[in-house]
């Protein structure tokens, strides 16, 4: 059986590394000059491990929402039910429940995605600005991504990127991810010095990391 490579990233690294993403896809990182034949042979030797990890990942996949009355959606860590409303001028409104305009039900996924992106831009930008000012850290800009397996990143030019899905997580978890990336402005790696600085700002950061590891697959609108 030949394992399918879903994403191959080549770089100046010296070894081949494999990673099973939250959606079960296989990510392979390989040196620039290593042949695809060698890469495939390396993967084939790991078949049993890869299949076992993909099975675990698939077991955690969130089923696609049907956007019906009573379905639960996450926002800032809170479980909020959906209510179909008619008439309603705005496609989606958040009150004690998510009120979705009934005529928008067929394109509800796009409506929710746009709403989450707008909220993520507002919430994350405000927290980045707050912590950057508090800890005297300077960044160039903030970018939103649609990443499913990477909560945030920091570029060499000081651009901070965050997935809009992060806005589904509790506020304190969002704050941890924001601070994590802000610390990368000063310390580019994940050395002991980096984690010491993160812990200085977020004493219980390990708890926040554990929350993401356990619940990260829930920050999704489903396949």
Q: 205-215 vs 192-201: helix axis angle to the nearest 10?
A: 100
pLDDT band for position 34 (cuts 50, 70, 90): very high
**pLDDT for 87:** 82
Q: Is the pLDDT of residue 223 over 60?
A: no
pTM of the model: 0.76
Q: Are strands 17-20 and 26-31 parallel, antiparallel or unpaired?
A: antiparallel
Task: Tell me the β-bridge partners of 82.
Answer: 98
86 contact partners, CB below 8 Å, separation of at least 6: 101, 102, 103
Domains and CATH numbers, the chain: 7-59 (no CATH), 72-113 (no CATH), 120-218 (3.30.2010.10)
90 within 8 A of 75, measured Cβ to Cβ: no
pLDDT band for position 118 (cuts 50, 70, 90): very high
Q: How far is C-alpha 174 from the geometric centre of its chain's CA atoms?
A: 11
pLDDT band for position 201 (cuts 50, 70, 90): very high
**pLDDT for 105:** 92
Task: Tell me the β-bridge partners of 72.
Answer: 81
Task: Tell me the β-bridge partners of 93.
Answer: 99
Mean pLDDT in the chain? 92
Residue listed under structure tokens 């392979």: 28
Q: Is the pLDDT of residue 37 over 80?
A: yes
* Strands of the sheet with 98-101, listed across from one edge: 72-75, 78-85, 98-101, 92-94
pLDDT in tens, 61-92: 667 788 999 999 999 999 999 999 988 899 99
pLDDT in tens, 123-170: 999 999 999 999 999 999 999 998 877 899 999 899 999 999 999 999
Q: Is the pLDDT of residue 59 over 70?
A: no
Reading the block at residue 161, the tokens are: 């990127």
Lowest mean pLDDT among 28-37, 60-69, 96-105, 190-199: 60-69
Reading the block at residue 169, the tokens are: 């997580």
**pLDDT for 57:** 74
């Amino acid at each position: 059986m030949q394992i399918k490579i879903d994403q191959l990233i080549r770089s100046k690294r010296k070894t081949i590394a494999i990673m099973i993403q939250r959606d079960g896809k296989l990510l392979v990182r390989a040196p620039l000059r290593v042949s695809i034949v060698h890469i495939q042979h390396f993967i084939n030797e790991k078949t049993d491990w890869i299949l076992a990890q993909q099975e675990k990942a698939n077991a955690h996949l969130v089923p696609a929402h049907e956007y019906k009355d009573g379905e639960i959606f996450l926002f800032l860590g809170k479980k909020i039910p959906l209510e179909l409303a008619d008439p309603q001028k705005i496609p989606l409104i958040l009150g004690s429940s998510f009120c979705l305009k009934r005529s928008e039900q067929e394109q509800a996924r796009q409506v929710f995605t746009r709403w989450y992106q707008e909220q993520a831009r507002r919430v994350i930008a405000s927290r980045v600005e707050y912590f950057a000012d508090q800890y005297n850290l300077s960044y160039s800009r903030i970018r939103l991504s649609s990443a499913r397996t990477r909560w945030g990143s920091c570029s060499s030019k000081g651009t901070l990127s965050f997935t809009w899905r992060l806005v589904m997580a509790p506020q304190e978890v969002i704050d941890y991810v924001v601070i994590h990336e802000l610390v990368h402005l000063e310390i580019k790696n994940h050395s002991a010095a980096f984690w010491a600085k993160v812990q200085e700002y977020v004493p219980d950061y390990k708890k926040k990391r554990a929350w993401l590891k356990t619940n990260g697959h829930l920050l999704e609108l489903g396949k």
